[in-house]
Structure 1
């Protein structure tokens, strides 16, 4: 083969190698993350309207009792997170931007119609009974999956009971849930949901210094039916004075919003890279509650 033909062959081989997906040609170096402008985020402030979510009596104003409610606190956090994300160029939708009843299945439907890249449901935690409330604080993040842990199951029941999948009085049928869970074994979103949940857990506890209660799994109806990675954040306890002050203060809610934004940035930029695979390796999902 002549020198000129050899050079042509070499160039052609390299060119074909770049085009051939079976050839390991520096794919990692060519990886580009989805642009923020193309990464639609749907934030779901839990509860709303007639559904207060968890509540805590803080005292009395004149004759009436003053209550801290989950629905108001998480709406404020969702709005602040939306503000910060939009400053970075992300398209962001809220499932509710006011105090309104929104059916559970309508929330993921909003995300599906928008072609969202992630769906994040924001809540606050609570424990029944004065004894259990002592020392209960910190952040938990959840992925949609079955669990044998009683505490996680009870929490899911509390979050699910406020508004039914369609109207507001009954929970999803077991047959429907089981069918969806069967499909989840083939669902690639499960691993990405796990990575997203771990990112939220890490950044929230790092920035706010809240207690890290871990990444867990439960059957939250609000996460069913989503076409994208999902997670549910329990951003503190309504029964914890520290958690209430954090999410209620201007400085605190900004810090929490910044943590959520950092987690989303990390999730987006690392998607499809070795860094994402390493995140999954480090991410531990607990079957049992830390309570």
Structure 2
């Protein structure tokens, strides 16, 4: 393979929790720069055979996608599962420190599974190597030739193949259309599907409004799971109660949430 020119965006890399590998879609746009992004929440990699493009039909809007898309309300539960799964000592640590520890364990585990040597390498370097290996692995699974290609070009090919395959599953006509336009249609189809799963009426509803309704439904769903009463409360009030309830779950483990003015990153005190 030609010298790799993939640019890597490590957003608070070691402190935060999700590594999205490969092409990603935000709304309907393809990211034009190949990148590895580390976002807050559960840290995860798609395993072999799990890369299902925009999200397999039936799994809802914002599924596994070209990278891993975290759903905010689910992130807290995922992090709790990781803490338990890795048997991490949490007493007295900040939420940021715990996320960092989970991230490091996850990337080392992924590297080992991919046969990447970890000895003497820092985590940033491993993030990069894992991202490259996962992209090439995905390209191979799709039958895309990788030899002699720069990673940004390979990423684009993987992106297009994923979008077109997923569009076909949804019966979306692709002939003569730009891939970004197909991706937009796919995004809208997934949104409608998710809304219907949540019992939301979709006929005649604009997609912008539908997105808001889906988010509201997710907040109510999270509140129900936590046993929070929603009667007579606004969505913002319920969302705040959900946040506080999730925060309490971490505090029970001795995890510290710095005050906003003391936090080096506001995600320490706000994001669950």
Could you state the TM-score of these two structures normalised by the residue count of structure 1? 0.23
Could you state the TM-score of these two structures normalised by the residue count of structure 2? 0.24
Q: Which structure: larger Rg?
A: 1
